[in-house]
Structure 1
Amino acid sequence: MSLRQCPMMAPRLRVDAVLFDLDGTLVDTLPDITWCLNRVLLEEGCPVLTADTVRGYIGGGTRAMIGQVAAQFGIAGAAALHQRYMTLYQHHLVQFSRPFNGVWELLEGCRQLELPLAIVTNKAEDMALEIAGSLFAQNTFATVLGQCTGRSLKPQPDVAWEAARQLSVDPRRCLFVGDTEIDLQTARAAGMPSAMAAWGYGRTCTWQAQSPNFYCQHPLGLLRALQQVCAEQDDTVKSC
């Protein structure tokens, strides 16, 4: 699919840092999320959910996911369900979760391009830190920002701006990479260029209205795009 904007009207794209969503962008966390969610649902006497169904709940934060599930099954006390899920998930963060194919190569390529990296996620920050520390080399990411007390969730732009501040990079020069419409909305609200990670969990029918600068089917496609941008500072929207 070709994504193009008029070169005469498009501002010159410059990327000096990359902000990554976590679930569905860097790491396939769906197996562990599904496993833990089904364990607590079985305790409620509810049928298990398929991974594809759970996929549709990911992106807005754990409380939102549990709220949708509780409403689906008529479970009273979503807060208690959320607590039980979080307790279980805390002990099974990387039981089955692994980086998507090509992600390690993408991150190494970013290192060679001297692009500082950050994780910006709606997952609880302590969990995001543990996952990143378990699956990626030390110091891969300059900062990992997730859900914590007093911080707004995506698509509010605050967390993206905070990542840019910590990286000492102008937000307009931070590429925001994510797999859901929420990520693209975050990038737009923060004034950042964006990349749609089509290999992740997002529904491809929802991203077009957000006009991402890149649409990538595979992490290595994104790496090629970054290499070209860094080499040419091209101002054309690309499909990779």
Structure 2
Amino acid sequence: MYKCCIFDLDGTLVDSIKAINYTINLTLKKYNLGPISEDECKIFVGDGYKKLVERALIHCGDKDLVHYEDGILTYTEYFKVHCLYKVKAYDGINDLLSYLKNNNIKVAVLSNKPHDRVIENIESMFENKYFDYLAGEKANIKRKPDPAGAIIISNELNISLENCLYIGDTDTDMKTGINANIDTVGVTWGFRAKEELELYNPKYLVNHPVDIINIIENSKKLKLSNSN
């Protein structure tokens, strides 16, 4: 039975695309480049802010990444100010998190977003009343799809990976689940198309947060059935 849910953040728990898009366009504007659309931004995100800056610069014509190093610093400074710009929790997420808390299921976040911005988003959106462990991009956690972050969370919460669910919305998240050998949930309300998630054969594909409650309830019934 599942005893822990490890969530991606952007595109899974919160709709943050306006904040990311706003910040990258401010960054591009400094070099008289851009803007890029939200739909383009959704394709560029998922592998950390450095990759976002790289992809956006190349897309806008800076093929040699002349502005890359400065762009990283510029994006970082702008994002400190704008990381909560029009961010909101997806419909049903608070109900899902409340269910998990009430059923003593551990809740963690594993994100490629800078760690301080993860904390800021969680505290702003949820007052951090649901979460047992938060992990953003920082020195001791390798960027997804490396499985190290999921393994660290499993160890820190003392719950085996076979009793965890990893939940995300991008190909990076699906690869993370595969690399960690953990049951993975692809969510269709996020930044990428259902067809992209299906390519990686996640154990579950869901259209609404309530579907995750059903997955956990079914895992409880299966455990009871196997114990009889």
TM-score, structure 1 normalization: 0.88
Structure 2 CA distance for aligned equivalents of residues 85 and 93 of structure 1:
10
- Cα offset, 1:17, TM superposition: 0.5
Please give the secondary structure, in 1, of the residue aligned with 2:74.
Answer: helix
Query: In 2, Cα distance between the equivalents of 1:38 and 1:184?
Result: 28
Q: 1:57 is matched with which residue?
A: 44
Whole-Å separation in 2 of the counterparts to 1:46 and 1:234: 59
Number of matched pairs: 222
Q: 1:109 maps to which residue?
A: 99
Does the aligned pair in 1 maintain the 2:31–2:67 contact within 8 Å? no
- Rounded to whole Å, the distance in 2 between the matches of 1:89 and 1:160 is 25
Q: Secondary structure at the match of 1:60?
A: coil
- Determine helix, strand or coil for the equivalent of 1:118: strand
Q: Does 1:26 align with 2:13?
A: yes
Residue in structure 1 matched with residue 191 of structure 2 by the alignment: 201
Say yes or no: does 1:168 pair with 2:158.
yes
Unaligned 5+ runs, structure 1 = 1-13, 236-240
Q: For residue 40 of structure 1, what is the aligned residue in structure 2?
A: 27
Identity %: 21
CA contact (8 A) 2:162 2:182 kept: yes
Instruction: State the shift of 1:226 in Å.
Output: 1.9
Corresponding position: 1:151 with 2:138 = no
Is 1:89 aligned to 2:79, yes or no?
Answer: yes
Residue identity in the other structure for 1:194 = T
Q: Which residue of the partner structure matches residue 214 of structure 2?
A: 224
Inter-CA distance 78–143: structure 2 relative to 1 (3 Å threshold): same
Task: Give me the whole-angstrom Cα distance separating, in 1, the residues matched to 2:222 and 2:143.
Answer: 34
Asked whether the 8 Å contact 1:119–1:145 carries over to 2, the reply is yes
CA contact (8 A) 1:113 1:227 kept: no
Q: After superposition, give the CA deviation of every residue in 1:5-44 in whole Å (9 maximum; x if it has no partner).
A: xxxxxxxxx2110000000000001011111111121221
Aligned-residue offset at 1:139: 3.5
Greater Cα shift, 219-228 or 167-176:
219-228
Q: Which has the higher contact order (CA 8 A, sep 6+)?
A: 1
Question: What TM-score do you get using the length of structure 2 for normalisation?
Answer: 0.92
Q: Is the 8 A contact 1:228 1:234 kept in 2?
A: no
The runs of 4+ residues in structure 1 deviating greater than 6 Å are none
Q: 1:11: which partner in 2?
A: none
**Which residue is 1:69 aligned to?**
56
Quote how far apart the aligned CAs of 1:234 are. Answer: 9.0
Q: Which moved more, 1:135-144 or 1:158-167?
A: 135-144
Offset, 1:231: 3.3
Once residues 155 and 140 of structure 2 are traced to their aligned partners in structure 1, the CA distance between those partners, rounded to angstroms, is: 17
- 1:210 positional shift: 2.1
Q: Give me the whole-angstrom Cα distance separating, in 2, the residues matched to 1:166 and 1:133.
A: 21
Instruction: Letter of the 1:25 partner, please give it.
Output: T
Residue aligning to 1:5: none
